[in-house]
Amino acid sequence: MQCDGYAFSGNVIAGALCNGRFAGGGQELGKGAKLTDGQMQICFLKDFPKSAVAKVLKEIADYNQTGHCAGEYLVSFKSTELIAVTSQAVATNLDGEPQQLHAGRFSVEPASLKLSLPSYARH
């Protein structure tokens, strides 16, 4: 996986690429994401041993409190693009559309949609 200034090679348990704070059902996955900044909030959980469960839970709690995490297992940052390549197909959900991907390039096109948003969604 490669992004602006970040590279990772290893197993990922789960991840989210968000250009807005909320996903379906009102889940706040992209705590630092803004619809207007031209960047994605990327957050992913690296594979971890059973002995690290307490540390992972603390990193998740920290992310839920602050919207930021650069932990040993949970990582969150902003980027304009993400390129990912896997050795086996990965189940993904792209805006409600299930996909099986071996590789993907994800990016944000700044100011490409004109939206009318309620004030609480503009942060």
User: Over the stretch 80-91, which tens digit does the pLDDT of each residue have?
Assistant: 999 999 888 888
Look at the block and give the residue holding tokens 């041993």: 49
Catalytic machinery residues: 97
Residue 113, pLDDT above cutoff 80? no
User: Over the stretch 11-54, which tens digit does the pLDDT of each residue have?
Assistant: 899 888 888 888 877 888 888 888 888 898 989 999 999 999 99
Which segments of 1-123 does DSSP mark as H helices, in order? 53-66
Q: How far apart are CA 85 and CA 105, in angstroms?
A: 9
The pTM of the full predicted model, rounded to 2 decimals, is 0.78
